[in-house]
Amino acid sequence: MAEFDFDAVVVGAGAVGLASGYALSRRGLTVAVLEQETAIGQGVSSRNSEVIHGGLYYPTGSLKARLCVEGRRRLYAFLDKHHVAYDRCGKLVVATAPEEVERLDAILEQARTNEVEGMEKLSKAQVAELEPELRCEAALLSPQSGVFDSHGYMLALQGEIEAAGGAVVVATPFEGATPIEGGGFQVRSGGAEPATLTTRYLVTAPGLSAQGVAGHIEGFPADLIPAGHYGKGRYFRLQGKAPFAHLVYPPPIHGALGTHYRRDLGGQAVFGPDLIFVDALDYSVDPAAADLFAAYIRKFWPGLPDGALSPDYAGIRPKLHGPDEPQPDFRIDGAERHGIGGLVALFGIESPGLTSSLAIGEEVAAKLGLD
Ligand SMILES: Cc1cc2nc3c(=O)[nH]c(=O)nc-3n(C[C@H](O)[C@H](O)[C@H](O)COP(=O)(O)OP(=O)(O)OC[C@H]3O[C@@H](n4cnc5c(N)ncnc54)[C@H](O)[C@@H]3O)c2cc1C
C-alpha cells in the first residue's frame, strides 16, 4: 500500500474514532486520526455517564446487543492492561412500583439472551441488604456494569495508535474526500495548514457531525444519509455523601435508559441524564429542573435531602430517531450499503457507544475486509 500517504484515515478522535484507529493499527496499518478540536475526546465522548454497560436491554440480533457485550469484555481487559481506572461496582435495575416488576422479568430474559454474565433477580429484602437506603419492590443485579475514566481510556488508545507509527492530528477538520480510481481516497483537511492526503481506507466517526461529513464524500448516496436528531441529557450532582455503591437505574424510558444514579470515580453522586429533543447544540442545564429530578429520584431514594441537587453538565446524543419514532440500531455502513469500497461510515453512535467502542473498531476492520 506504499502509494498512499496513510493506509487509513479516521475522521474524529472521540472514543469510537480512536478505537477504530486502534483496531486498524493492531493490524499493521499506518493510521491518521483527524480531529477538528484542539484536543481529543471533546465531543459526545466527554459528556456522558462513563458507565460500562452490561448490555441488558438491546434487541436480539442488533449491533447494540452484540457490540455492547463484546465491547464491555474487551474494554475491561484493555483498562487492566493500560492501568486506566474503573470501578466494576455493579448495577441495580429497580422496580419502584409493583407494576414495574414484570418489566424486570422481560429485561432479565433479554439480558440472558444477550449472554450478559451473572444476572440475578433480587427481592426487596435482598436489595435492602445490599443498599439499605434504596427503596424498590424488586431489582435486577448486573454485576458486570461499572464506571470508568473515559478520558484515560482515550489517551491510552491515542498512545497505542502513535506507538504503531500512526498519528492523531488535532485542530485538523476533515473537509471532504474524493474516491481515487482504482481504490483509495484523496482527503482534504482544513485548519491552519490545509492539506490534501491520500489513503487506502477511510473511516468516518464524527459523532454529531456524521451526516455533514458523509455529505462531503463525493459519490456518497444522499438517500443513505439518515436524518439526525439531537437528544439532550442533563445531569445534576448531589451535594453530600453518595448514598449507594451500585449504579441504580429505574427501567428504561422510550429512547434512553433513563435518569439513573452513579457514584463517579471521585466518590461523588451524579443523577442523569434525562432526554429532551433539541434543535441546537445547547449544553445549558436549567437549575429549575432540579425539582423534576428530585421527584423522580425520590421514587427510589426517599432520603434525598431538599435542595441537595446542583446543575452539573449536559450531553447530546447523536440520534437517528425523533421523539415518537422507534429507536434504531447503530449504523456501521460499509461498501455493501453505500457502494464505496474502502469506506466505513458510522451514524447514530449513541449509548452504549462508549462501552461498545473497541468492538465497533473490530466491526469497522471487518467491514474493510481486515479481520
Ligand atoms: C448524555 C449521554 C450519556 C451517555 N452515557 C453513556 C454511557 O454511560 N455509556 C456508554 O457506553 N455510552 C454512553 N453514551 C454514548 C457515548 O458517549 C457515545 O456513543 C460515544 O461517546 C460516541 O463516541 P464518538 O467517538 O462516536 O463521538 P464523539 O466523541 O463525538 O467524537 C467525534 C469526534 O469527531 C470530531 N469531528 C466532528 N466533525 C469533524 C470533522 N469534520 N473533522 C474532524 N473531526 C470532526 C468531533 O470534534 C469529535 O471529537 C452517552 C451519550 C450521551 C450523550
The predicted pLDDT at position 255 comes to 80
Work out whether the CA dihedral 54, 57, 58, 61 comes out positive or negative.
positive
1 pLDDT tier (thresholds 50, 70, 90): very low
The ligand 1 atom at the shortest distance from the C-alpha of residue 19 is 25
21 pLDDT tier (thresholds 50, 70, 90): very high
Q: How far is the CA of 178 from the centre of ligand 1 (A)?
A: 25
Mean pLDDT for all residues in the chain: 97
Burial of 166 (0-12, 13-18, 19+ CB in 10 A): buried
Q: pLDDT for 230-259, tens place per residue?
A: 999 999 999 999 999 999 999 887 888 779
The residue behind cell 456524521 is 210
The predicted pLDDT at position 67 comes to 98
Q: pLDDT for 303-348, tens place per residue?
A: 999 999 999 999 999 999 999 999 999 999 999 999 999 999 999 9
Q: What angle do CA 260, 262, 265 make, to 5 degrees?
A: 160
Q: How far is the CA of 320 from the centre of ligand 1 (A)?
A: 14
Residue 350 is classified by DSSP as -
Q: Which residues form ligand 1's pocket by a CB distance below 6 Å? A: 11-17, 34-37, 42-45, 47-51, 53, 173-174, 205-209, 213, 233, 273, 315-317, 349-355
55 is written with which cell numbers?
Answer: 448490555
The predicted pLDDT at position 254 comes to 82
Q: What angle do CA 207, 341, 330 make, to 5 degrees?
A: 30
**167 in Cβ contact with 9 (< 8 Å):** no
Q: Looking at residues 56-84, what average pLDDT do you find?
A: 98
Q: 3-class DSSP state for residue 56?
A: coil
Q: How far is the CA of 45 from the centre of ligand 1 (A)?
A: 4
Q: How far apart are CA 246 and CA 65, in angstroms?
A: 22
Task: Identify the residue whose C-alpha is closest to ligand 1 atom 4.
Answer: 48
Q: Which residues contact 120 (CB under 8 A, 6 or more apart)?
A: 140, 141, 143
The predicted pLDDT at position 198 comes to 98
Outline where DSSP puts E strands in the chain: 6-11, 31-34, 51-52, 86-87, 91-95, 120-123, 138-142, 146-148, 167-169, 174-179, 185-189, 195-204, 229-238, 247-249, 260-263, 269-272, 276-278, 309-319, 331-333, 343-347
Q: How far is the CA of 47 from the centre of ligand 1 (A)?
A: 8
Residue 46 backbone dihedrals phi, psi, to 5 degrees: -105, 0
Residue 165, pLDDT > 90, answer yes
Q: Which of 34, 37, 46, 48 to mutate to test the pocket of ligand 1 (most atoms within 8 A of CB)?
A: 48
Q: Looking at residues 185-200, what average pLDDT do you find?
A: 97
The predicted pLDDT at position 256 comes to 81
CB neighbour burial string for 248-286, b if at least 16 within 10 angstroms, e if fewer: bbbbbeebbbbbbbbbeeeeebbbbbbbeeeeeeeeebe
Tell me the sheet residues that pair with 8: 31, 201
Q: pLDDT for 77-116, tens place per residue?
A: 999 999 999 999 999 999 999 989 999 999 999 999 999 9
Q: How far apart are CA 18 and CA 160, in angstroms?
A: 9
Work out whether the CA dihedral 285, 286, 291, 296 comes out positive or negative.
negative
Tell me the sheet residues that pair with 344: 203
Phi-psi category of 55—alpha, beta or left, where left has phi over 0 and alpha has psi -120 to 50?
Answer: left
Q: Which of 16, 44, 211 to mutate to test the pocket of ligand 1 (most atoms within 8 A of CB)?
A: 44
Residue 171, pLDDT > 70, answer yes
- Cis, peptide link before residue 352, omega less than 30° from 0: yes
The ligand 1 atom at the shortest distance from the C-alpha of residue 273 is 1
The predicted pLDDT at position 251 comes to 82
Q: How far is the CA of 43 from the centre of ligand 1 (A)?
A: 5
Task: Identify the residue whose C-alpha is closest to ligand 1 atom 26.
Answer: 207
pLDDT above 90: percentage of residues in the chain: 96
Residue 2, pLDDT > 60, answer no
Outline where DSSP puts E strands in 143-292: 146-148, 167-169, 174-179, 185-189, 195-204, 229-238, 247-249, 260-263, 269-272, 276-278
